[in-house]
Chain A
Amino acid sequence: MTVTTPNPAPVAEAPRSGGSRLVERLLRMRELAILVVFLVMIAITQAGNSQFLSEQGVKDLLLNATILVLVATGQSLVVITRNVDLSVGSTLGISAFAAGTFLQGGGNALVAVLLAVLLGTGLGLLNGLLVSLGQVPALVVTLGTLYIIRGVDSIWVGSRQITAADLPGGFVGFGSGGLSVLPWPALIALAVLVATASCLGHFGSGRELYALGSNPEAARLAGIPVRRRILAAYTFCGALAGLAGAMYLARFGNVDSGTGNGYELTVVSAVVVGGVVFTGGSGSVYGAALGALLLTSINSVLPALGVSSVWVLAVNGVLLLLAIAVDRIVALRVAAALKKKSDRRRTAVTKENADA
């Protein structure tokens, strides 16, 4: 009973039929919509302040987004599996300090970055183990690790502080240098993003993350190693938070025990604004990255337009609610369209049977 394709003609047509096209279009639209909002916002700002898109301006926009894009990419994977990792801010903070301390002691820059990633990986692994083995809601588990990691960080760091002056010049230069307007950290984030998206879209393990977020029970019955996949998602998320810590150090050069405090909420906002559904199973890392870009850009846009930066948080909140509302409406529309399509097919079949 091997699957054969006796007649390739109808097969070639199948992917082009109405339903999939409609849905694909809507899904792509979701990311397109954020992109459009982003571009419109940038255009308006540029019109109001011609200095905004100077070389340094673009560079700043990208640099500001880089760290959030990295962490949001990792977070997306976790959210797709119907979980969440609230400890990313703490992980970012402690990895940044670890890398900084290592560099302060005269360590190699590449090894410092690796160290941050490894530390993040370890903490991600810990989260993953607790969530997948403990069968406890991820929200609570990672809230616990958020405080634990932050606490350990505070004890270790105390009132110490790492400043750019303590770091090798090359490392700090790396944080701001790049290919014309493209900073090195932004290129790294882009590479990570593309690789992750490819894994999610084209590899079995990536698709299984969507499957288990979409219906955990069905995933179990389909023989998907649910725990191992969740563990992998958390580990990857932790690794990216660690990498983001190293990038943070390179960008700002300034790290203390409060670094990354409250960052997890910004990350979750970016992911949700980017269209990754909080109940799992749907969304893309590109969307999350665009969400991150949009949210961080507001930080630069408002001051450039002469609006006080106290408005930033409120605007972020409005965007978040708007994104959720749009998602809900789109979901209802799609469901209705699919149902109608199903009904039509069914009526057609019934008719055919009646005729026969």
Chain B
Amino acid sequence: MTHPPDPGPAPVLALKGVSKSFGAVHALRDVCLELLPGEVHALAGENGAGKSTLIKTLAGVHRPDAGQVLLDGEPVVFHGPGDARDAGIAVIYQEPTLFPDLSIAENIFMGRQPKRALGRIDHRATRAATAALMKRLGVGLDPGRPARGLSIADQQIVEIAKALSFDARVLIMDEPTAALTGSEVARLFGVVRTLSAQGAAVLFVSHRLDEIFQICRRVTTLRDGARIADEPLAGMTEDDLVRRMVGRDLAALYPKQDATPGEVALSVRRLTREGVFTDVSFEVRRGEIVGLAGLVGAGRTEVARAVFGVDRWDAGEVEVVGRRLPRGAPSTAMAAGLALVPEDRRAQGLVMGMSIERNIGLTGLRTTVTAGLVDRRAERSRSLDWAVRLQVKYARIADAVSTLSGGNQQKVVLAKWLATGPKVLIVDEPTRGIDVGTKAEVHRLLSRLAAEGVAVLMISSDLPEILGMADRVLVMHEGRLTADIPRARATEESVMAAATGRAAV
């Protein structure tokens, strides 16, 4: 454990040797962290490194399996998020957690509303306090309107106002800037600086490295659930930080083979679904991996769902290998050679209680059914074949998929769709929440498929993955396609600028 060299101020909140596992996955291993008053501390690490688990441990959502949470040097046990909040810990989560039916004012003050006599809520004071917060943040949101229908950025602002609304001694922000525009980010940083000058401890998570350097003094780096370093940022470069986060040769994690794009396999023209996405046109060629980047809520998944026919579209057309698809007909899309590996494998990709064999077999029922009956032997041999090809680690092929690890479940979903022999493969967040080893395997597989002539459209929120794997990067912002960047020119900056709409302003 490396302590800060000078005795200095005592940490407000600290983790000491904290470990946390979910099933067989070690999310955190013996992690230490110290948050000092008046200091903005960065938490860096790749997706799946354990940042969210660490934050949820500090927030009282998870209780550590081993180790301690220290508040003012004393061990505490948070029995729930309420305990952490009462201890003065405010958390802004990556994905806003609002009550859509309630007003913005109620969202901010839920559980802590100003009261009048007899414990009645003072609605007027609640709204007034909210208006004051909005003024401080410099936004014109109406405190009385319901949270339903707010854009992601506005939802994030409500979350920030919520954290500001109580005297937080510790402010934890999990990618608060992901959905904000430049001026909103500047305003947020102003607030963060004021807070830390007043003595609050701040923990800041961001994928934008420049922001970390801009506002933070120290950085703790996590990799695969373990703390790699805790050091001052002064004197470090972005490259140093990336090396600590990744800790391995980038080329090994992103084994992109060069491929020569062939003819157009998927062509989407002026696709529009009212209120969701507008005028989306792009092409994916055989042998090409096209990345689709954008912020959460930009409409990427919705476009994929519409293309595959799960959702209907209002205007535009979709062609797969020169064949026009009708809207809202997934089975026609499948027959045309389209496959969609959905974002949420547990809810949409797999039937969790069913065996590996049957899950893979689901997409092949057309070929394995004879005279109305499923040919179990054909189904088994087909499933076994694919499970082996993708190196799924399982005890028996008849085991339920729920017994597999996340990475292996993802391989089963991939197997299920690859078994259809697709010409166009759409993968939505193919490596979310799976370990680094399997992640590299999935990447190798995608790369090999492309080399074999499959057109791959890869939706991902993992920027290094997009940059490492894609031949071309499409970027969406608030339902529109804002950029089409070739591999050579795709950088973190160019993609993020397009994703936040900053390029357009």
Does A55 touch B at the CB level, under 8 Å?
no
Q: List 28 A-B contacts (CB under 8 A).
A: A1-B168, A5-B128, A5-B129, A5-B131, A11-B128, A11-B132, A14-B131, A14-B144, A15-B143, A18-B142, A20-B144, A202-B123, A210-B102, A211-B99, A211-B106, A217-B97, A218-B98, A220-B80, A221-B59, A222-B111, A223-B82, A223-B84, A224-B82, A224-B111, A342-B154, A348-B140, A353-B181, A353-B183
Contact B85 A281 (CB under 8 A): no
A316 CA to B70 CA, complexed, in Å: 60
Residues of A within 8 A of B93 (CB): 221
CB distance from B495 to the nearest CB of A (A): 20
Does B270 touch A at the CB level, under 8 Å?
no
Residues of A within 8 A of B150 (CB): 338, 342
Number of A-B contacts (CB under 8 A): 158
Does B400 touch A at the CB level, under 8 Å?
no
A204 CA to B118 CA, complexed, in Å: 11
Contact A5 B132 (CB under 8 A): yes
**CB nearest to A6 among chain B residues:** B132
Contact A203 B119 (CB under 8 A): yes
CB distance from B441 to the nearest CB of A (A): 32
Binary interface encoding of chain B residues 16-52 relative to chain A, with 1 for a CB under 8 A from any of its CBs, else 0 = 0000000000000000000000000000000000000
Across the interface, A210 reaches (CB within 8 A) one of B99, B120, B164, namely B99
Contact A221 B127 (CB under 8 A): no
Residues of A within 8 A of B396 (CB): none
A338 CA to B144 CA, complexed, in Å: 12
A202 CA to B123 CA, complexed, in Å: 8
A282 CA to B143 CA, complexed, in Å: 18
Residues of B within 8 A of A353 (CB): 181-183, 505
Binary interface encoding of chain A residues 292-316 relative to chain B, with 1 for a CB under 8 A from any of its CBs, else 0 = 0000000000000000000000000
Contact B195 A1 (CB under 8 A): yes
Does A23 touch B at the CB level, under 8 Å?
yes
CB distance from B109 to the nearest CB of A (A): 9
**CB nearest to B168 among chain A residues:** A1
Residues of B within 8 A of A219 (CB): 99, 110
Does B231 touch A at the CB level, under 8 Å?
no
Does A158 touch B at the CB level, under 8 Å?
no
Listed in ascending order, the chain A residues whose CB lies under 8 Å from chain B are 1-8, 10-11, 14-15, 17-20, 23-24, 202-204, 207-208, 210-211, 213-215, 217-225, 281-282, 334-336, 338-339, 341-342, 345-346, 348-350, 353-354, 356
Across the interface, B167 reaches (CB within 8 A) one of A1, A7, A335, namely A1
Contact B140 A215 (CB under 8 A): no
CB distance from B101 to the nearest CB of A (A): 4
From A341, A342, A356, residue with most partner B Cβ within 10 Å: A342
Across the interface, A281 reaches (CB within 8 A) one of B97, B100, B131, B145, namely B100
Binary interface encoding of chain B residues 100-128 relative to chain A, with 1 for a CB under 8 A from any of its CBs, else 0 = 11110010001101010001110110011
Residues of B within 8 A of A23 (CB): 144-146
Contact A225 B149 (CB under 8 A): no
Given A1-B164, A3-B132, A10-B131, residue A342 in contact with residue B149 (CB < 8 A): yes
CB distance from A346 to the nearest CB of B (A): 7
Contact A208 B145 (CB under 8 A): no
A192 CA to B273 CA, complexed, in Å: 47
Given A207-B106, A208-B110, residue A14 in contact with residue B81 (CB < 8 A): no
A354 CA to B181 CA, complexed, in Å: 12
A219 CA to B101 CA, complexed, in Å: 12
Residues of A within 8 A of B154 (CB): 342, 346
Residues of B within 8 A of A346 (CB): 151, 153-154
Contact B145 A341 (CB under 8 A): yes
Does B61 touch A at the CB level, under 8 Å?
yes
Does B438 touch A at the CB level, under 8 Å?
no
Across the interface, A214 reaches (CB within 8 A) one of B101, B128, B132, B151, namely B101
Contact B97 A211 (CB under 8 A): no
Does B94 touch A at the CB level, under 8 Å?
no
Does B148 touch A at the CB level, under 8 Å?
yes
A219 CA to B81 CA, complexed, in Å: 10
Residues of B within 8 A of A223 (CB): 80-86, 111
CB distance from B10 to the nearest CB of A (A): 21
Contact B113 A15 (CB under 8 A): no
Contact A14 B195 (CB under 8 A): no
Residues of A within 8 A of B83 (CB): 223
Across the interface, B149 reaches (CB within 8 A) one of A5, A204, A339, namely A339
Does B420 touch A at the CB level, under 8 Å?
no
A221 CA to B97 CA, complexed, in Å: 8
Does B165 touch A at the CB level, under 8 Å?
yes
CB distance from A201 to the nearest CB of B (A): 8
Across the interface, B131 reaches (CB within 8 A) one of A11, A213, A218, A282, namely A11
A353 CA to B505 CA, complexed, in Å: 8
A336 CA to B275 CA, complexed, in Å: 8
Across the interface, B101 reaches (CB within 8 A) one of A2, A282, A356, namely A282
A24 CA to B146 CA, complexed, in Å: 10
Contact A14 B113 (CB under 8 A): no
**CB nearest to A224 among chain B residues:** B111
Contact A14 B146 (CB under 8 A): no
A3 CA to B127 CA, complexed, in Å: 12
CB distance from A13 to the nearest CB of B (A): 9
